[in-house]
Amino acid sequence: MASVKYFPLSSRSPSTGVKQPKEIASFSRNIKQEYENNDSCLSYYYFPDQEVEKPANVDLSHGFQKFKKMDETKDGDLDGLLKAIIAYEKKYNAVIPKIDIITFRGLMRKILTIPYGNESFDFNLLCFDNQLFIKSDKESDMKRNELEQKRMQKRINKSHGKKISNLSEKFVYSGYKFETLTTLNKPWSKCSRDEIEKRYKKEVNNIEQYAVVVKTGIGKNKMLLCGEVDCVFDYKPQASDFDEDNPLTHYVELKTSKTINDISAYNTFRKKLFKAWAQCFLIGIPKIIYGFRDDQLKLKAVEMFKTEDVPVLIKADPQERGNQISCIDAIKWYGAAIEWIWANIDVKNEKTVWRLSYNFENKTFSLRELPEEKSSEIINNYEILTKEFVDWRLQLRSNQN
C-alpha cells in the first residue's frame, strides 16, 4: 500500500504572490442540466432598498415545496469546465499553455480557509498532459452532506425546543430564494414591469448556473479555476473589450446569514464572511452582498461589502479572546500547500489517482496514491475527465506528432 504523506498545518510560504485572475471563458448550465458556452444563465442584480420593507416580498421560505434541485450525482462534475476548455483550445488548436492545475474555485477555497475553517474534505487528483486536474470525491461529499444535514436539523430542533421538519433544508433553500429575489435574467432596462414584479413568485432552482473560467495562480504554480457567478452588478462588457474593461470587476457574490443581534452571532458571521472573501478573492470578484434573515427566514436587511475591505473587517475578535482571522496568513498557508501538492505529484504519471484529504478532527492534511485497481476504475469510468475531453486531447497529441 502506498505511503501517506503529511503536510504540517503550521507551514507558511514566505510570499503572498497571487496572480491577478483573468477571465478566459464562461458557460451556462440550463434547467435541463446541459452545458452551453454562452451567457444565457447570466443574471443581473436588482433589489432596491425599499423592497426590504415589503413584508409580502421577503419570505425566503416561500415556494420551498416547488424547489427544483440539481441531481447530486452530477453536481461537482468537471463537465462544463472541460467543455469550455475544449472550446477555447479549438480556437488555437493547442493545449491551453502555461497551466499547471485545473479545478473548481470551491475546492481551492476549502484549502485556502483551512487555518480558520472546520471543513474536512477528500479530493481526487489526476495528471493528464502535464496538468493536474482536481475534483472532489463524490462519495465522500454525499456522506458528509447527509451528516451535516442531520447535525443542522438537530441544532434547529434544539434551539426551537421541538422537532421541526424540513427546516434545515429550508435554510439552504433560503439562499437560493434570495438569489432569485435579487436578480433578473436580463438588464433592468430590458425587463417589463411584469417580469420585475413577478420575480417574487418565480420558482427557485439550483440547477441553472453561470460560471467563469479564470487564469490565476500562486507562487510558481499557474491555475485555471472555474467558479459560479451569481450575477453582474451592472453589465458585462463584450469579450473584445476585456483588456480595457475587466469583466470580473462587474460580478457580485450573493450570500445570506442570520441577523446579528449579539457578539456570538457576530463571531459566527465573521467566519462566514471569511469564507465569502476567499471565494471572491480566488477569482477576482469585488463585491459581496448579504441578505440578513431572522429565524423565521424573513429578510430583514441587505448589505454590500467590498472584497478588498473584508480582511480588516474580520481580523479583530470583538471578545478579545485572541481569535483573529488573518487573510494574509491564510494566503501564505495556501501558497505553501499548493507548492507541496505540486512537488509531491508525478505530473508525467497518467495512470495513478491521488487522494488529497483534510481531516478537521485530526488536524491532518495528507496526500496518498490510490490503489492501482481504484485508480483504474476512476480513470476508465471517466469520473474525473470526460471521454470527450480525453479524446480531444489525444487528437491534439496526434496532430502534433
How many domains does one find in the chain?
A: 1
Q: Residue 125's closest CA among 337, 340, 342, 373?
A: 342
Q: Residue 109 pLDDT > 60, yes or no? A: yes
As a whole number of angstroms, the distance between CA 129 and CA 277 comes to 32
The C-alpha cell that represents 364 in the structure block? 491532518
Q: What is the pLDDT of residue 291?
A: 95
Which residue range(s) make up the domain with 136? Answer: 5-400
pLDDT value, residue 2: 66
**What is the torsional sign of CA 244, 250, 251, 253?**
positive
Residue 358 neighbours by CB under 8 Å, 6+ apart: 110, 111, 114, 119, 120, 121, 364, 365, 366
Which residues does 227 contact at the CB level (< 8 Å), separation at least 6?
A: 104, 105, 106, 211, 212, 214, 279, 282, 283
Higher pLDDT pick, 296 / 7: 7
Is residue 36 predicted with pLDDT exceeding 80? Answer: yes
Measured in degrees and rounded to the nearest 5, phi and psi for residue 182 equal: -105, 10
pTM score: 0.94
What is the pLDDT of the chain when averaged over all its residues? 92
Beta strands in 3-111 (DSSP E): 5-6, 18-29, 35-36, 44-45, 101-104
CA atoms of 149 and 174, how far apart (whole Å): 15
Spatial strand order of the sheet with 287-293 comes to 183-184, 44-45, 231-232, 251-258, 287-293, 299-306
Per residue in 316-339, pLDDT (tens digit) is 776 666 678 999 999 999 999 999
Q: What is the pLDDT of residue 145?
A: 82
Q: Report how far residue 76's alpha carbon sits from residue 83's, in angstroms, rounded to the nearest whole number.
A: 14
Q: What angle, 0 to 180 degrees and rounded to 10, lies between the N-to-C axes of helices 138-160 and 167-181?
A: 100
Instruction: Report the DSSP beta bridge partners of residue 379.
Output: none
pLDDT digit string (tens) for 209-236? Answer: 999 999 999 999 999 999 999 999 999 9
**DSSP SS3 for 135:** strand
What residue type is assigned to position 316 of the chain? A
Report residue 143 as a C-alpha cell.
456522506
Highest mean predicted confidence (pLDDT) among 158-162, 164-168, 310-314: 310-314
Percent of all residues in the chain with a pLDDT value above 70, rounded to a whole number: 94
pLDDT at position 150: 76
Q: Are 99 and 215 in contact (CB under 8 A)?
A: yes
